[in-house]
Structure 1
Amino acid sequence: MVIAVLLAVVSGCATAGPGTAAPVSTSAEPSEIALPPRPREVRIDGIDPCSLLTADQRAELGLDGRPVAYTSANGLFGEASSCSIRGTEPREVSVGLSVVTDRGIEIITSSGGVTDELTGITVAGFPAVLARPTRLRDFCSVEIDVAAGQLLDIQFAQGTRGQPIPQDHLCRDAQRVAEAAIASLLTR
C-alpha cells in the first residue's frame, strides 16, 4: 500500500462548482480511471504546504494544532515539501498536505503498485483521485491534478486508535480539506 507510506511520516458527475468534490468514475484498476481535463494550470513550485489552509479554514475543519513543515520522501511521490496539522476537537485527527512538483496525477492513475480503492473526483473543477486504503482503514487521501507534472496530496487520518473514525468520514473530511486547500491556492 504505497500511499500509506506518507501517513507513516505524520457515481458519475464530471463537473462541480468551486469548493465541491464530485465523483467522475470509480475503478479498482488505476489504468481505468478517466479524469476530466483541468480547468487551468496552477503551478505549485515554491508553495509552502503549511500556507494552504488559512487559520479560519483550519478552525472550521477542526485542526487546532500548529502546522509543522517537513520533507516527505517515499517511492511514490519522491521528495515533497509537506505539512502536518493535528486536530483534537471534536475528534483526534491528523492531516498531511504535500506539494508534489516533480510527478503528476498519472503516478496514481496509471501505477500498478497502488492497491487502494481509487475514485475519480473533481475538486473545484480540478481532476482528482480519492484513494481509499483497503487494508489500513484509519485514513483516506485525495490527490489533486493542479498542473502538468504536479499534484497536491491530502491525507486525512484518525489521530488515535482508541477513538476510531469510520473511513467514510475520513474520506469526506479529506475532500473537505482538499476543497479548502484549492480555494486558498486559487486566491494567490
Structure 2
Amino acid sequence: MALVAVLAGCAPVSGAGGAPGAPTVDADGFPSDVPIELKVREPKDARGIGPCELLTVAQQEELGLDPSTAKSGAEGLAQSCFWYYRGQHNYARIGISTDSTAGKLPALWRLFRDDPNYEQFEVAGHPALRTNVEPDRFCDITVAIADLQTVVVAATADLTPRPDPCAPSRRMAELILSNLPPLIRESR
C-alpha cells in the first residue's frame, strides 16, 4: 500500500512575491501553497531522452512488456511511449514532459488534491501523485524527475481488480529513475 504524506500543518515556503493574491515562491520558483514534500530533493535530467529510451530492453522484459511493440507519440506538450504486454492486449504507457510550460506536480496537486482517488507518495525518493479514476484496476502515477520535468506512468498487467494497482506503475517509475543522470544546474 502506498504511503500517503500528511498535508496538514505544512508551513508556507517563503520567497519572492508575485501578483496580489498569488502564492509566493522560493528561489527555485516552488509555490508556497503546495506541500514542500512535492519539491524534488535530488533532481534527475530526462531532457534529450526519448520516452521509448527510458527503459532498457532488459527492464522492459522484466516488466513483462514486449520490446518489439514500443511505439512513440506526442500528447500535447508530452512525448509518450506505448508497449503491449507479452501475449496480451493490455498496454503500458509512459508520458514524459521536459517542457517548462507543461503542467508540473504543483499544478497537478492543486487539480487533484480534493479527488478521492488522489494519493501523494514517493517513488525512489521522488515526489509522486496518483491521479487515476479507477483505483482498484489501474494506476496512473506522475513522478517529478526535477521541478520542471515529470514522467507519467500508466502500467498494468491486466484490468482485473488487484490489492495494489500501483505496483506495476511504481516499479516502472523506479526503473526509469534509476536510468536517468543527475540534473546539472546552471550557475546563476
Normalising by the residue count of structure 2, what TM-score does the alignment of the two structures yield? 0.68
8 A contact 2:44–2:182 mirrored in 1: no
Q: Structure 2 matches for 1:79-158, cutoff 5 A?
A: 79-89=77-87, 92-101=89-98, 102=100, 103-111=103-111, 115=115, 117-134=117-134, 138-157=137-156
SS in 2 for 1:177: helix
Provide Cα deviations, 1:117-147, integer angstroms capped at 9, x if missing partner.
111111111111123424x864311111111
Q: Structure 2 matches for 1:163-182, cutoff 5 A?
A: 164-182=159-177
Structure 1 residue 167 displacement after superposition = 4.8
Q: Structure 1 regions of 5+ residues with no counterpart?
A: 1-10, 12-21, 74-78
Which is worse superposed, 96-105 or 165-174?
165-174
Aligned residues: 154
Q: Structure 2 matches for 1:14-29, cutoff 5 A?
A: 23-25=3-5
Q: Which amino acid aligns with 2:121?
A: I
Distance 1:32 1:137 in 2: 27
Structure 1 residue 111 displacement after superposition = 1.3
8 A contact 1:100–1:150 mirrored in 2: yes
8 A contact 2:138–2:154 mirrored in 1: yes
8 A contact 2:42–2:182 mirrored in 1: no
Q: Which has the higher strand share?
A: 1
Matching residue within 63, 74, 79 for 1:71: 74
8 A contact 2:136–2:165 mirrored in 1: no
Distance 1:116 1:143 in 2: 16
Q: Which amino acid aligns with 2:57?
A: A
Q: Which amino acid aligns with 1:88?
A: R
Normalising by the residue count of structure 1, what TM-score does the alignment of the two structures yield? 0.68
- Identity over aligned residues, as a percent? 22
Q: Structure 2 regions of 5+ residues with no counterpart?
A: 8-32, 184-188
Higher radius of gyration, 1 or 2: 2
Q: CA RMSD in A?
A: 3.1
Structure number with greater CO (CA < 8 Å, separation at least 6) is 1
Structure 1 residue 45 displacement after superposition = 2.2
Cα–Cα, structure 1 residues 114 and 99, in superposed 2: closer, same or farther, change >3 Å?
farther
Structure 1 residue 87 displacement after superposition = 0.2
